[in-house]
């Protein structure tokens, strides 16, 4: 069975001569689509086939030859360059989606459903409308579907999302001053534990370590490996060393400023990492497994 699936995926990729990164709704994040016999350049508007149906997107960068495609996922096609009709339809769909969202909010309130509507989108052909919502528990929206179908006259999809997905949809600026990672380049939201903050020697202050979504910040994950590697250059806190034949204990390290603090009952020193190595003869540790 797996061999059949792999053959199907490979044959799908071979149908294309190039692939392109396509972004949607002015997002900087791009998704790959296959291209054949279409001349595209960065910035071109295109119509692509997605799992939800046809959608309008923007070519994020110039075409890449299909031989460079290393992803295991099959490619869906770029159907055509967007026409003026496609663009007008897309713009009208945005306006209609705003109206549909208000209709849905009214019906949710009438039915007393415990769900927080976040967004509404139509596929380009308007064959489907997708509502995204947050909810703490499972929602019985069968009655809501009936009402919406009678008012909107199209297929309805209600998609429950998590708080990280909400932050991704809405976007914003992080405490670093840059756009949120989830809204720009992150593809997956893996679990992030407090042990990563400990590994990075951060004060365990949950509000300060939390992002817009209320969860631990995603940067704790993708910066963790760098901290683990940098810490190998430093001694463990608690290590006993001798400086000028006097014993000291390493009480803290700072991998950003590359300093080491050592103490004994009579003295305290803050040394650069290079100076610490010189005075103590310390050598880099062998790489070891760090628990995440």
Q: Domain limits at 54? A: 2-82
Q: Are residues 8 and 77 in the same domain?
A: yes
Q: Model-level pTM greater than 0.85?
A: no
In terms of residues, how long is the chain? 292
Q: Are residues 156 and 92 in the same domain?
A: yes
Of 247, 245, 253, 181, which is closest to residue 219 (Cα–Cα)? 181
Of 151, 117, 16, 131, which is closest to residue 71 (Cα–Cα)? 16
Tell me, yes or no, whether 115 lies in a domain: yes
Which of 28, 55, 82 is the last residue before a domain boundary?
A: 82
Please give the helix or strand (H or E) that residue 8 lies within, else none. helix 2-14
Contact 117, 108 (CB under 8 A): yes
Tell me, yes or no, whether 290 lies in a domain: no
Tell me, yes or no, whether 120 lies in a domain: yes
Three-state DSSP class for residue 194:
helix
Which of 204, 227, 250 is the last residue before a domain boundary?
A: 227
Please give the pLDDT value at position 5.
Answer: 37
Q: How far apart are CA 45 and CA 124, in angstroms?
A: 13
Q: Are residues 6 and 77 in the same domain?
A: yes
Tell me, yes or no, whether 291 lies in a domain: no
Please give the pLDDT value at position 212.
Answer: 76
Tell me, yes or no, whether 201 lies in a domain: yes
Which residues does 193 contact at the CB level (< 8 Å), separation at least 6?
Answer: 216, 292
How many independent structural domains does the chain possess? 4
Q: Are residues 137 and 207 in the same domain?
A: no
Q: How far apart are CA 183 and CA 197, in angstroms?
A: 22
HSE at residue 122, side-chain half, CA atoms within 13 A, is 20
Three-state DSSP class for residue 257:
coil
pLDDT by residue for the chain (292 residues), tens only, comes to 333 334 444 545 557 899 999 988 877 678 899 998 888 999 999 999 998 899 999 999 889 998 888 887 889 999 999 999 999 999 999 999 999 999 999 999 999 999 989 889 999 999 999 999 988 788 898 999 999 999 999 999 998 887 777 777 777 888 888 888 777 777 666 678 888 888 888 888 888 888 877 788 888 887 888 899 999 999 989 999 999 999 999 999 999 899 999 999 999 999 999 999 999 888 776 555 444 4
């Amino acid at each position: 069975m797996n061999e059949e699936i792999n053959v199907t995926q490979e044959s799908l990729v071979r149908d294309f001569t190039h692939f392109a990164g396509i972004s949607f709704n002015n997002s900087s994040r791009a998704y790959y689509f296959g291209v054949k016999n279409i001349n595209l350049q960065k910035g071109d508007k295109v119509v692509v086939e997605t799992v939800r149906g046809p959608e309008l997107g923007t070519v994020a960068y110039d075409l890449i030859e299909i031989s460079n495609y290393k992803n295991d996922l099959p490619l869906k096609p770029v159907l055509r360059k967007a026409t003026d009709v496609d663009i007008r339809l897309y713009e009208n769909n945005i306006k209609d989606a705003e109206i549909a969202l208000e209709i849905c909010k009214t019906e949710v309130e009438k039915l007393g459903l415990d769900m927080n509507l976040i967004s509404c989108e139509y596929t380009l052909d308007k064959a489907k409308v997708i509502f995204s919502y947050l909810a703490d528990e499972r929602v019985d929206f069968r009655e809501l579907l009936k009402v919406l179908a009678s008012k909107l006259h199209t297929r309805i999809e209600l998609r429950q999302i998590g708080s990280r997905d909400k932050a991704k949809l809405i976007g914003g600026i992080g405490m670093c001053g840059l756009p949120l990672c989830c809204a720009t380049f992150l593809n997956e939201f893996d679990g992030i534990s407090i042990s990563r903050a400990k590994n990075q020697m951060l004060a365990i202050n949950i509000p300060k370590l939390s992002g817009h979504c209320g969860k631990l910040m995603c940067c704790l994950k993708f910066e963790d490996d760098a901290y683990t590697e940098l810490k190998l250059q430093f001694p463990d806190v608690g290590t006993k060393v001798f400086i000028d034949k006097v014993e000291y204990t390493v009480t803290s390290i700072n991998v950003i400023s590359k300093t080491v603090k050592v103490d004994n009952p009579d003295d305290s020193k803050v040394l650069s990492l290079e100076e610490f190595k010189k005075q103590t003869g310390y050598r880099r540790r062998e790489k070891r497994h760090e628990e995440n």
